Chains A and B, each alone.
Chain A
Amino acid sequence: MPGWLLWLTGYLVVRVRCAAPERFLNLALAQGLYFWDARWMGEEWLEIRIRAGDFRRLRPAARQARARVRIRRRVGLPFWWRALRRRPGLLWGVVSVVAAVYVWSCFVWSVEVAAPEGWQRLGPGDILAWAEENSLRPPVLRANLDANRLAEKLMLDRQELAWAGIRLAGTRVIIEVVERRFPDTATSTGPAHLVAERDAVVEEVTVIAGQARVKPGDTVRRGQILIAGIMLPEEGDQAQPGQGFSRPRLVSARGRVWGRVWYEAVGQAPLVEEERVPTGNQVREIKVIVAGREINVKPLRGIPYASFQEERWWWAWPVWRGFSLPLAVEAGTYREVEVRRHGRSLEQALDAARARVTAYLRVQIPAPAEILEEQVQVLPATPGQVRVRVTWQVRQNIATVFPLK
């Protein structure tokens, strides 16, 4: 019998003192009893283990072999239960602790934000604020939380994000985000030029340090020097005799150059929109992986749906103090989806395409910028699609630091 089953039925640790313990054992064996883990405890006492119910039946053998039998320990659920019954307070305590832990674990108690690739424009506070707005504020019932839907919403709400994932880890919610990469605009401390970030028409030049090389109305190319960090000697300096040769001075150019910049993007949208609606049907497979060996607990014989969404779930025995068990559970859920096609008018499709392009452009422009003009041009497209080009004229700071060393 396995150990846990013995524990469930209960057993006794009994000590026997007898001149001929073997005789006692054989007599008891003849009664149909059985023992395990028999060992000598010192010279006189033999310790044996028997099933809880067999103790009474030990009596005749003990009498015949003139053995003294003593119960040392009662082990197992029945004894545990009996002790508990005598102390109802303890029982209620245990039940209420278990219930409290269960109820507690139904809630999310903390929200954490992680950015594996670091922060750029956003900070953890922004994401936490978003979480608050979207009623992800502890305590939240875990059951009410749709992590996938929330992650999708986060990505839509925050265009600065390239990716967002939300997962539940016990009573914690971990929001992982990856920001879109933007060029580094860190100001350098050494000598530097300010150069044009993109092709633009200069509108306004404000110099704090350095020498302006462009004036309003100039067309500049990307990379062209706007405010130079090299101060060339003025004409008047050279004219002065006896002063010697005045050398150019290096500074860290600072200032602001506003320019008109054109942003352009093309996007398309289908005239027939596809929507994938879950039908509620689903099949599931469950695998248990023990020490690298896969056991199909609930195997799957093919997926009976024409179109479906797959969702995988993975659990591995957690590492606790460097100790883990090679046990993992993998489950796959396949949800049937119905593909619904909605035809839409040309205007609706154009609006959708335009919204898509606009969302893209909004991420491209820097934070302090002003959209001056928007042009939408309908382009020829493949049948069933509409295609638009959106051009934005934006007023923005076009200066970016270009270190001289």
Chain B
Amino acid sequence: MAQGEKSSGGSKLRRVESSLVELLDLPADVVFDLPRLTVIGNRRVVVQNHRGIVAYTPRQVRVGATGGEVEITGEELQLEAILSEEVVVRGRIARINLRLT
């Protein structure tokens, strides 16, 4: 499939990119477009570089990201801000699961 070829070509490119990034000591979140998380105690999580909201309930928020999603579990969760650059989750946060490849 065309998509498969593209992804295998992409992974080769990724490897070159990876070694280049290590060599040049570049920030990975910028180069690979990875999510960047800022956690403030158990009350706030800021997810930058997100790919939209996958699911939202008061007990769980799943935020889409490059290569998977970020799962935030807790209680009384609110989306304090939803911007194109970042999502801010507020509430009593119990767990953060990174389901990234």
Q: Chain A residues in contact with chain B, CB under 8 A?
A: 21-22, 25-26, 29-30, 32, 34-40, 46, 48
Contacts and interface: CB of A to CB of B under 8 A. Distances in A.
Interface residues of B, number: 14
5 contacts: A22-B55, A25-B52, A30-B52, A32-B84, A39-B78
B79 A35 contact: yes
B81 A35 contact: yes
A22 B87 CA distance: 13
> Nearest 10 CB-CB pairs, A to B?
A38-B79, A26-B52, A39-B78, A34-B83, A35-B82, A36-B81, A22-B53, A25-B53, A40-B58, A22-B55
B78 to A, nearest CB: 4
A281 B9 CA distance: 78
Contacts, number: 47
B21 interface: no
- B interface SS class: strand
A80 B18 CA distance: 55
Nearest to B86: A34
B18 to A, nearest CB: 29
A37 B77 CA distance: 10
Nearest to B50: A29
Contacts of B66: none
A38 B84 contact: no
B57 interface: yes
A21 B61 CA distance: 12
A168 B8 CA distance: 81
Nearest to A50: B82
B57 A40 contact: yes
B84 A34 contact: yes
